[in-house]
Structure 1
Amino acid sequence: MLSSVRARATIAAAAVVAVALVIGSIAFIALLTRSVVDSVGGAAQQDLAQYAQLLEDGTSVDLSEDDDDRVVCLLSTTGSVLDGSDACRDARASAALATVEPGGDATVVSIDGARFVAVAEDGVSVEDRGGSTRGDDDDDDDDVDGADTGHVDDATLVVASGLEEADDAVSVASLLLVIAVPVLVAFVALVTSVVVGRALRPVDAIRRRVDGISASDLSERVPEPATHDEIEALARTMNAMLERLDSSQRSQRRFVSDASHELRSPLAVLRQFSEVAEAHPDRVPTAELAATVRAEGARMQDIVESLLLLTRLDERGRGERVEAVDLDDVLIAEARRVRASGHVAVDTTGIEGARVSGDPALLARAVRNIVDNAVRHATSRIALSLRVEAGTAVVHVDDDGSGIPQADRSRVFERFVRLDEARSRDAGGSGLGLAIVAHIVAVSGGTVAADASPLGGARLTLRLPAIDGP
C-alpha cells in the first residue's frame, strides 16, 4: 500500500504540512508569549512611572495595598524593603525583585509560584519608612518600623504585574493548536489522497487497458482523458507507441508471409523436378535438371540476400563506409552494362556531373535496381539522366513500357509488391528490388518516387543531397 504513488504523495504532503504547522505553532506561541510579556511589561512601566512621580512629588502613596495582579516594592540601596505590598516582604520575593535591573527591560520573575513581569527605577527620593532586609526570616517579615528614620535619596522602586491572565490566554492558544494541528494534518492528508486518487484514476484506467492488451492483438488503444495535462499526453504517446507496434507487427507478419510465399515457389519447383527425376530418370535430362536447380537456387539466393540487405540497412543505417560518390560515373557504368546485354537501347545524353555522400556499394546497388526495373519493363529503350537542382542531385530513369498506375506509384516501393503485369516470377524478380532502393535512399538522406515518363512508361526519380568537391 505504501508503495503506491497515492500513499506516498499523501504521506509526503501530510508530513510537510505537519512539520510546517508544528514549526509555525511553536513560533506563534513564542511570539504570542513575547507579545503578552511586552504588553504587560508596558503596563507595568506606566505604573512604575506613575508611582515614581507621586513619590518624587512627596504625595502620600499606599504601596502596601494588596493586589493579586500587581506587586509594588520600594527597596533601599542595601536591599531592605522600605515599603510595599505584602508579597514583596517575603524574602524570596524581595530577592527576586532585587534582581530586576533598574531602567532595563522588563524581567519575568516568580513570586509565590506565580509569574510576574517586573520593571524597576532607581534614584527615587522618599522618606525612609523603616523596613527589613532581604535576609530576614519569614517570622520577622512583619517587623517594619513605622517611625521615620530619615530621608532616602537613592531608593529603588519595583513594580511587577501578574501574567496569570496572559498565561491563561497562551495556554488556551496552545491547547487550540494542539487540537487543530492534527485535525489540519488529517484534513490535508484526506484532501491529498482524494485529489491524487482522482488525478491518477486515468492512469489506472490506462494500466488496466494496457494489461489487457496481448502481444497477439495490438489493435486496442488506451483511453485518452480530456484533462489537458501530462496524463493526457502520456495516453496519446502510449497510443502512438501502440500504433507503431501494431503497424510493425502487421508489417512483420506480412513480411514473413510474403517471404514464405516467395521461397515456397522455387522450393516447390525444385521438389517437383527432383521427384520427377527420381521417378522417371529417363524423362528429365540432366542438363535441364541442372539448369532448373541453378535458376531456382539463384532466385532463392537473390531473395535471401535481398532480405539480409534490408535487415542490415535497418540495423546499420547509412552503411559501413560513407564517402563522396560520383553519381554520374555510377550511371554511366550501369549504361555500359545494359548496352552489353543488348536487351534495350540506352540514352545517356542527359547525364551531367554530380557528387553525393554515401556508401558507394549501397548507392551503386540502388542505381542498379532501378535500372534493372526499367530494363525489365521497357519495350525497346530506357533513358538515364542526372542533374543538380538547388543542391540536390536528381536522377531520372525512364522506360517506354506500360508504366505504373497512379494508385500503385507509392506501393511499388513496399516489400514483395508486384503489379499485375509483372506477376510472373521471370518478369517480376523477387519483389524486393525497389524496396531496397527506398531503404538505401532513405538512409542516405534522399527520396525516391515513381511517376509517368515522357517515353510513355514509368519514371523512377532519386533525389540525394549533392556535395561540392573536386
Structure 2
Amino acid sequence: MSTATTRSSRWRSVRGRATLGAVVAVAVFLGFGSLAFVGLFSATLRSGVEQGAVADAESAASQLESAGTRTLPDDDGRLLVLILDGRVVDRTDDDIELPDPVPGGDSFVSVVDDESVVFAREDVELGDQEYVLLAGRSLDDVDDAVGLVSILLAVAVPVLVLLVGALTWVLVGRSLTPVERIRREVAALSAADLHRRVAVPATGDEISRLASTMNDMLARLEDAQTAQRRFVSDASHELRSPLAVMRQYAEVAVAHPDRVDGSELASTVLEEGLRMQGLVESLLLLAKLDERATVVSGRAVDLDDLLLTEAARVRGAGSLTVDAGGIAAARVEGDEQLLARVVRNLVDNAARHARSTIRLACWTDGPVVRVRVDDDGAGVPIGDRSSVFERFVRLDESRSRDAGGSGLGLSIVADVVRLHDGSVEIVDGALGGAGFVVMLPAANRS
C-alpha cells in the first residue's frame, strides 16, 4: 500500500474524522471569535479615547468662556483648535492640519504628524460670536494595543488548534484501542474457535458493553453450530435406519431368494420408503422454518374444520375412540397447510400414545383461539415437558421406531405455532394422559 493511500485511509478512519472535525470546529470558532474580539477591543479603546477628547473639549470650552478670551491654553499639551466660520482662529500645535472643510458631527478622525487623532466638537460662545472648539487625542496607543493583540491571537489560535487536534488524535486513539483489539480477536476466530471469548474490560462503558455483546454473539453462534451439528448427526442416524432395513431385506432376498417373499420385500421397502420420505419432508420444512423461508399467507383458516377432518381420519383407522364434542367454531389467519400439519402432528402424537381414547377441542377465547388435544396415555412428566419440542427427542416410553415417530413432529408444531405468533404448552390431560394446548391469535380480533 502506498504512502498516499495510507494517509487517505487514516483520515477516513473514525480517529481521523474526529480529529479533523475537532480541528475545523475549533479553528472556525476561534477564528470568528478572534475577529469579533479584536473588533470589540478596538471599538472599546477608541470609545475611551473619544470620551477623553470630549472631556478635553468641554474643559477647554469652559475655560475660554470663563476667561472671555479667544486664546487657547497650551500648557497641558492638549490638541486644541478654535474655529470661527470654518476658519482656524487659534491652535495649540502648528502641525495640526484639519481637512477642508471640517467634517461635521460630534467627532471625527484626522491625521496630525502622521498620527491618527480623534477630535471632539464643542460649541463656544465668546462675545457675540459662535465659535467651534475642537479637542483631539492620539489613537496611536489604541492602534499599538490592537496590533499587539492581533499578533498574539494570530500566533495563539493556530497553536491552540494544533494542540486540540493532537489531543483529540491521542484521546480518540486511546479510546479506540480496545475496539481495535476486539476487532483483531474476532477477526482471528474461525469456525473451530467459537468457544473462545474476547476480554471484557472492567470499565463499564460502551467498550465493555461492546465486548459483552460480541461474546453474546459468539455464544449464539456456538449454540447454533452445536445445534446444527447435532441436527445433522441425528438426521443422518434417522435416515440410516430405514436405509439399513431396506438394504438388509434386499441382501437377504439376493442371497436367499427362497427365504424372502417378493410381496414381503415390496411391503418392507414401501413402508421404509414412506418413513424416509416423511422424515425428509419434515427436515425440509424445519430447514425452511429455520431460514424463515416459509411465509405466512395470512388467509382465514377454520381450525374446527381441520380438527374434524383429523377426527374422521383417526376414526377410520378403527383403533381409537375420538371425542370431538369440544370442537367449536374457531378461525385464525395463517397458512392453512402449515396449520393442518400442526393439527395432524398433535393428533398423531396423541394417537400414538393413547390407550383407547383421544379428545379434540377448539374454541375462541377473546383475542385468542385455543386448540386442545388430550389422550389417555401415560402422559408427559413435568421435567420432560420443555424438551419434547426439541428435535429428535423421544421419551424413554417411545424410543423404538415402531412405537414412536421421528422425533420431529412436535418440533414442527412449536416452530409453526411460533411463526404464527402463537404458543404451545403441555398440561395434565383431562383423560389422565397428556394435554397439548395451542394458542393462536384469533382472526379479525380487535
C-alpha distance in structure 1 between counterparts of 2:76 and 2:350, whole Å: 124
- Find the counterpart in structure 1 of residue 24 from structure 2: 15
Aligned to 2:354: 378
**Aligned residue in 2 for 1:406:** 382
1:467 CA displacement: 4.2
State the one-letter code of the partner of 1:395: V
How much has 1:431 moved relative to structure 2? 1.5
The answer to whether residue 328 in structure 2 is matched with residue 352 in structure 1 is yes
Pairing 1:365–2:354 present = no
Q: Is 2:100 the counterpart of 1:77?
A: no
- 2:58 counterpart residue number: 49
- C-alpha distance after superposition, 1:187-231 (max 9, x if no partner): 322333343334334423332332233233323344445555554
Q: Cα distance, 1:250 vs. partner?
A: 2.1
Distance change (3 Å), C-alpha of 1:280 and 1:237: same
Q: How does 1:437-452 map to 2 (within 5 A)?
A: 437-452=413-428
Alpha-carbon distance between aligned partners in 1 of 2:102 and 2:281, rounded to the nearest angstrom: 104
Contact 1:38 1:106 in 2 (8 A): no
CA contact (8 A) 2:121 2:134 kept: yes
Residue type of the partner of 1:110?
V
Q: Secondary structure at the match of 2:129?
A: strand
Deviates more, 1:279-288 or 1:371-380: 279-288
Q: TM-score, normalised by structure 2?
A: 0.87
Query: Could you say which residue in structure 1 is the equivalent of 2:6?
Result: none
Render the CA deviation track for 1:112-161: whole Å, top value 9, x for unaligned: 222211223456548xxxxxxxxxxxxxxxxxxxxxxxxx9354432221
Q: Give 1:311 deviation, angstroms.
A: 3.0
TM-score normalised by length of structure 1: 0.83
In the TM superposition, 1:116-131 aligns within 5 A as 116-121=117-122, 125=126
Structure 1: gaps of 5 or more residues: 89-93, 127-151
Cα RMSD over matched residues? 2.9
CA contact (8 A) 1:318 1:444 kept: no
Give how far 1:375 is off: 1.3
The alignment partner of 2:153 has SS state of helix
Kept in 1, the 8 Å contact 2:79–2:91? The answer is no
User: 2:380 and 2:233 mapped to 1: Cα distance?
Assistant: 25
Percent sequence identity over matched residues? 51
Instruction: Report how many aligned residue pairs link the two structures.
Output: 435
Which sits farther off after the overlay, 458-467 or 228-237?
A: 228-237
Cα deviation, residue 305, structure 1? 0.9
1:301 to partner: Cα distance = 0.8
Choose which of 18, 28, 35 in structure 2 pairs with 1:26: 35
How many angstroms does 1:13 deviate by?
1.0
| 1:454 to 1:66, Cα distance in 2 relative to 1, 3 A | closer
CA separation in 2, counterparts of 1:75 and 1:314?
102
Q: Do residues 86 (structure 1) and 88 (structure 2) align?
A: no
1:59 CA displacement: 4.1
Q: What is residue 208 of structure 1 aligned with on the other side?
A: 184
1:458 has 2:414 as partner = no
Which residue does the alignment assign to 1:250? 226
- Which one is further off, 171-180 or 56-65? 56-65
Give the AA of the match of 2:25: V
2:165 paired with 1:189: yes
Deviation at 1:12, TM superposition (A): 1.4
Q: For residue 7 of structure 2, what is the aligned residue in structure 1? A: none
One of 194, 207, 225 as aligned partner of 1:218: 194
Distance in 2 of aligned mates of 1:388 and 1:288:
48
* Counterpart residue identity of residue 384, structure 2: D
Deviations 1:72-102 (A, max 9, x none): 23344354564431212xxxxx144x55534
* Equivalence map 1:26-425=2 (5 Å): 26-57=35-66, 58-59=68-69, 61-63=71-73, 67=77, 70-77=78-85, 79-80=87-88, 82-88=90-96, 94-96=97-99, 98=100, 100-102=102-104, 104-121=105-122, 125=126, 153-225=129-201, 230-315=206-291, 319=295, 321-425=297-401
Residues in 2 aligned to 1:419 and 1:413: alpha-carbon distance in whole angstroms: 11
| 8 Å CA contact 2:70, 2:126 repeated in 1 | no
Q: CA deviation at 1:447?
A: 1.5
| Aligned counterpart for 1:3 among listed residues 12, 25, 47 | 12
- Code of the residue aligned with 1:452 in structure 2: it is D
1:416 aligned partner, one-letter code: F
Corresponding residue SS for 2:377:
coil
Q: Is the 8 A contact 1:66 1:85 kept in 2?
A: no
Shift of 1:449: 1.6
**CA shift in 2, pair 1:412/1:78, >3 Å:** closer
Once the two structures are TM-superposed, the CA of residue 39 in structure 1 deviates from its matched residue by: 0.7
**Which one-letter code corresponds to 2:239 in the other structure?**
L
> 1:105–1:244: structure 2 CA closer, same or farther, 3 Å change rule?
farther
Aligned to 1:91: none
Per the alignment, in what secondary structure is the counterpart of residue 384 of structure 1? Answer: strand
Provide closer, same or farther for how the CA distance between residues 280 and 111 of structure 1 changes in structure 2, counting only shifts above 3 A: farther
SS at match of 1:448: strand
Q: Please list the CA deviations of residues 51-90 of structure 1 after superposition, one character each: whole Å capped at 9, or x if unmatched.
A: 22323342474555694xx4323344354564431212xx
Residue 322 to residue 169, structure 1, CA distance change in 2 (3 Å)? closer
Q: 1:181–1:99: structure 2 CA closer, same or farther, 3 Å change rule?
A: farther
Quick check: 335-344 or 208-217, which moved more?
208-217
| Rounded Cα–Cα distance in structure 2 between residues aligned with 1:316 and 1:10 | 44
Are residues 460 and 218 of structure 1, via their aligned partners in 2, closer, same or farther at CA, if it must alter by over 3 Å? same
The amino acid across from 1:349 in the alignment is G
**1:205, 1:223 within 8 Å by CA — same for their partners in 2?**
no
**Alpha-carbon shift at residue 373 of structure 1 (Å):** 0.9
**Superposed displacement of residue 366, structure 1:** 0.9
Cα displacement (A) at 1:253: 1.9
State how far apart, in whole Å, the 2-side matches of 1:334 and 1:83 are.
124
Choose 1 or 2 for highest CA Rg.
1
CA contact (8 A) 2:389 2:410 kept: yes
